[in-house]
């Protein structure tokens, strides 16, 4: 399990600057998604082979009488989910009343807390740090987030607090030995996740086994459907026949992200009565970044007026224009309508996410695609694609070898992506193209 590191502090101390430095963006996937609001508060990073998650808890706002209460409680809630807190202060502005109040709030959280004194560039770090010792925190680290100074040794110190971490060679999910399909059902509170999960597990054809064990935040529920093995990574609380698992908890983005990472296929549940909300779009952004197979279940479709349905359909189409591969299913978890089709979509998406294609075949497909529409000339250059192979799964990663591939315009890459998707008959999974140029 990756440690979760929370950045806490008043506005302007440099939290987002540090956040950007500590996280890497997975830019390779579908580049950017126009029209998608992206919450950049959660991000992944790594120190060598050791991954971590960073949360920017947002500014703890200052008001006349100190700190702004509602914002503070939001930030503290997020900090409460973390394993370790980096309390950031501004080494140039010096100690403020708000810093003192934040420190006293943080003292109530039983979490390892480091005091990070930022903006120590161009000032004497020891002098800048001196007055902050009054906050009573013993682990004090000077950095300059904007320039990167001290950031590596800071994160090394933080990670030393987790001696039991397993190194990762690759954060791509691996295909399970048994061909087990790992599904996560995600969504905001009240959209109908538990109803859907219970409906899925309640079918006669489904045999649910005892939980193999629980991860920190999500429960893994192994089951078989028609003799095929699955694991459900549950964040909502599963009500099993006979036994009741109640997990009364607030919506936790961390938990959703962890479930997503542990899954191969994600079912994002949206409430048709509310339409697609900002929070839905934030979750969607993270899922798209992860490269997991994805389908959207628009729930509570029962009893809606025809014009309401039309409106929701149109909105979904418009909002998801940029990711046409995402399948949408209108369902009623309560009545079970559409849930059978959802199973079929999960199967198909999994098969698509874990295709097997030989290098010969992939190269032939590439040649057919290029024959239909060769790479265009770009200035003096024309890219040439020579051969292709499947470099990985979930998402399928197609590695294209050639020359001058840097000169391929984005429109041509999109063309390639769409044609590969068609020719490989992929449904419900993103794909990733990687270009390797011989020159």
Q: Is residue 267 part of an annotated ligand binding site? A: no
For residues 224-260, one letter each, b for 16 or more C-beta atoms within 10 angstroms of the residue's C-beta and e for the rest, the string is ebeeeebbbbbbbbbbeeeeeeeeeeeebbbbbbbbb
Q: Cite the beta strand spans of 263-336 per DSSP E.
A: 265-271, 293-299, 327-330
User: What does the alpha-carbon distance between residue 375 and residue 437 come to, in Å, rounded to a whole number?
Assistant: 14
At how many degrees (to 10) do helices 193-202 and 339-353 cross?
A: 90
15 in contact with ligand GDP (CB under 6 A): yes
Q: Which residue of 142, 192, 338, 375 would you call a contact of ligand GDP, by CB under 6 A?
A: 192
- Considering beta carbons, is residue 299 or 393 the nearer one to ligand GDP? 299
150 in contact with ligand GDP (CB under 6 A): no
Distances (CA, A) of 210 to 1, 222, 230, 240, 282: 22, 7, 13, 10, 33
CB 346 within 8 A of CB 292: no
- Considering beta carbons, is residue 147 or 413 the nearer one to ligand GDP? 147
- Considering beta carbons, is residue 224 or 302 the nearer one to ligand GDP? 302
300 in contact with ligand GDP (CB under 6 A): yes
- Considering beta carbons, is residue 63 or 174 the nearer one to ligand GDP? 63
Q: What are phi and psi of 315, to 5 degrees?
A: -65, -45
Cα angle 134, 139, 145; round to 5:
95
Both structure tokens of 130: 């001196």
Please, what is the minimum distance in Å from the beta carbon of residue 195 to ligand GDP?
Answer: 3
121 in contact with ligand GDP (CB under 6 A): yes
428 in contact with ligand GDP (CB under 6 A): no
Contacts (Cβ under 8 Å, ≥6 apart) of 400: 366, 385, 388, 416, 433, 434, 435, 436
Binding marks (x or -) toward ligand GDP, 313..352, rule CB under 6 A? -------------------xxx------------------
How many chain residues interact with ligand GDP (CB under 6 A)?
31
- Considering beta carbons, is residue 16 or 403 the nearer one to ligand GDP? 16
Q: Is residue 193 part of an annotated ligand binding site? A: yes
CB 96 within 8 A of CB 65: no
Task: Please choose, out of 34-42, 118-126, 154-162, 315-323, the segment that lies near ligand GDP by the rule CB under 6 A.
Answer: 118-126
Q: Which residue of 75, 195, 231, 429 would you call a contact of ligand GDP, by CB under 6 A?
A: 195
Chain-centroid distance of CA 268 in Å reads: 12
21 in contact with ligand GDP (CB under 6 A): no
Both structure tokens of 320: 């998801």
Cα angle 117, 165, 111; round to 5:
45
Residue 300 CB burial class (10 angstroms; 0-12, 13-18, ≥19): buried
Task: Please choose, out of 12-20, 205-213, 396-404, 418-426, the segment that lies near ligand GDP by the rule CB under 6 A.
Answer: 12-20
Please, what is the minimum distance in Å from the beta carbon of residue 185 to ligand GDP?
Answer: 8
5 in contact with ligand GDP (CB under 6 A): no
144 in contact with ligand GDP (CB under 6 A): yes
Cα angle 149, 154, 155; round to 5:
115
378 in contact with ligand GDP (CB under 6 A): no
Task: Please choose, out of 186-194, 345-353, 405-413, 421-429, the segment that lies near ligand GDP by the rule CB under 6 A.
Answer: 186-194
In the sheet that holds 432-437, the strands lie side by side as: 384-392, 397-403, 432-437
Q: Is residue 338 part of an annotated ligand binding site? A: no
Beta-carbon neighbour count of residue 56 at 10 Å?
Answer: 23
Decide: helix, strand or coil at residue 361: helix
Q: Is residue 27 part of an annotated ligand binding site? A: no
CB 438 within 8 A of CB 383: no
Task: Please choose, out of 221-229, 296-304, 367-375, 410-418, the segment that lies near ligand GDP by the rule CB under 6 A.
Answer: 296-304
- Considering beta carbons, is residue 196 or 416 the nearer one to ligand GDP? 196
8 in contact with ligand GDP (CB under 6 A): no
187 in contact with ligand GDP (CB under 6 A): yes
14 in contact with ligand GDP (CB under 6 A): yes
Place of tokens 């992200």: 257
Q: Is residue 191 part of an annotated ligand binding site? A: yes
236 in contact with ligand GDP (CB under 6 A): yes
397 in contact with ligand GDP (CB under 6 A): no
Q: Which residue of 190, 252, 418, 437 would you call a contact of ligand GDP, by CB under 6 A?
A: 190
- Which residues would be at the binding site for ligand GDP (CB under 6 A)? 9, 11-17, 59, 118-119, 121, 144-147, 187, 189-195, 236, 299-300, 302, 332-334
Q: Which residues are annotated as a binding site for GTP?
A: 9-16, 56-60, 118-121, 187-194, 234-238, 299-302
């Amino acid at each position: 399990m990756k440690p979760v590191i929370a950045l806490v502090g008043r506005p302007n101390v440099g939290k987002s600057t540090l956040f950007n430095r500590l996280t890497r963006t997975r830019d390779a996937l579908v580049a950017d998604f126009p029209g998608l609001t992206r919450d950049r508060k959660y991000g992944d990073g790594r120190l060598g082979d050791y991954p971590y998650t960073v949360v920017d808890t947002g500014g703890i706002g200052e008001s006349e009488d100190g700190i702004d209460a509602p914002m503070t409680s939001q930030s503290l809630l997020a900090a409460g989910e973390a394993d370790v807190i980096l309390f950031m202060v501004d080494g140039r502005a010096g100690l403020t009343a708000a810093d003192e109040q934040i420190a006293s709030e943080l003292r109530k959280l039983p979490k390892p807390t480091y005091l990070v004194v930022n903006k120590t560039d161009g000032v004497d770090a020891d002098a800048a740090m001196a007055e902050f010792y009054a906050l009573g925190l013993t682990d004090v680290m000077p950095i300059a987030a904007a320039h990167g100074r001290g950031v590596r040794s800071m994160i090394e110190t933080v990670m030393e607090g987790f001696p039991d971490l397993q190194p990762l060679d690759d954060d791509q999910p691996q295909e399970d030995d048994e061909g087990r399909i790992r599904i996560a059902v995600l969504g905001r509170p009240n959209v109908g996740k538990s109803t859907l999960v219970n409906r899925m597990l309640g079918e006669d054809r489904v045999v649910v086994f005892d939980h193999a064990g629980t991860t920190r935040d999500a429960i893994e529920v192994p089951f078989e459907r028609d003799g095929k093995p699955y694991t459900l990574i549950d964040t909502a609380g599963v009500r099993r026949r006979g036994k009741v698992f109640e997990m009364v908890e607030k919506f936790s983005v961390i938990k959703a992200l962890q479930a997503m990472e542990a899954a191969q296929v994600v079912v994002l549940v949206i409430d048709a009565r509310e339409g697609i909300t900002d929070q839905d779009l934030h979750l969607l952004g993270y899922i798209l970044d992860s490269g997991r197979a994805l389908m959207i279940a628009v729930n509570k479709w029962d009893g809606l007026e025809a014009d309401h349905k039309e409106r929701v359909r149109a909105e979904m189409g418009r909002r998801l224009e940029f990711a046409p591969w995402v399948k949408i299913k209108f369902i009623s978890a309560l009545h079970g309508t559409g849930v059978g089709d959802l199973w079929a979509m999960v199967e198909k998406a999994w098969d698509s996410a874990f295709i097997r294609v030989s290098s010969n075949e992939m190269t032939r497909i590439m040649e057919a695609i290029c024959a239909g529409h060769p790479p265009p000339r770009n200035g003096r250059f024309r890219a040439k694609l020579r051969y292709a192979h499947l470099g990985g799964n979930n998402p399928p990663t197609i590695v294209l070898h050639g020359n001058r591939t840097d000169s391929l315009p984005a429109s041509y890459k999109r063309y390639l992506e769409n044609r590969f998707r068609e020719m490989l008959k992929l449904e419900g999974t993103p794909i990733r193209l990687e270009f390797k140029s011989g020159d």
